[in-house]
Amino acid sequence: MSMGPEQNMTLLRNTYTTLQSGDLDTCAATLTENFIANLPGAPGPLYGREIWRRGAQTMLDGFPDLRIDVEEMFGVDDKVVVRVHFRGTHRGAFQGVEATGRPVSYDSIEIYRFEGGKIAEEWVAPDMLTLMRQITADADDLADSGAH
């Protein structure tokens, strides 16, 4: 069963909403069995729903109040491109940084490929530099930069 771009965009929007609620089982069910993740810094493609689940759980552990706002989205054929804005509070360890209680805000550009009504592959480019600066900078740096 192949879906068109509108249905794929609806599925992706619903998956972001479900992710915010922490229901990773429902999210994982929107992925194909042989889901492929293309992540910055990875030695190559990573395979399987469990890879996605681990990444999502890491984000939710570090930022349990994670909010995802879709800024722009468009789809062509079996692909959807989205610009999303993430925000939350650093309440758990993330990338080796213990919780700071600081609010974070960063963007990501993401491309998804759909197959048989499910998400088959992702290419994500989150602005990790901005995120990490917000949780590792000292308070004076944050005040000087105007980041809140």
Return the CATH architecture of domain 5-111+119-136. Answer: Roll (3.10)
Half-sphere exposure of 31 (CA within 13 A, CB side): 22
Per the structure block, which two tokens stand in for 45?
A: 């493609």
Query: Largest Cα–Cα distance in the chain?
Result: 55
- Convert the pLDDT of each residue in 18-54 to its tens digit: 999 999 999 999 999 999 999 998 999 999 999 999 9
Report the predicted TM-score, pTM, of the whole model to 2 decimal places.
0.89
Can you tell me the distance from the alpha carbon of 142 to that of 136, in angstroms, rounded to the nearest whole number? 10
Beta strands 118-126 and 31-38 are parallel
- Convert the pLDDT of each residue in 93-105 to its tens digit: 999 999 999 999 9
Alpha-carbon separation of residue 60 from 20, 72, 132 (angstroms): 8, 23, 16
First to last CA, the chain: 45
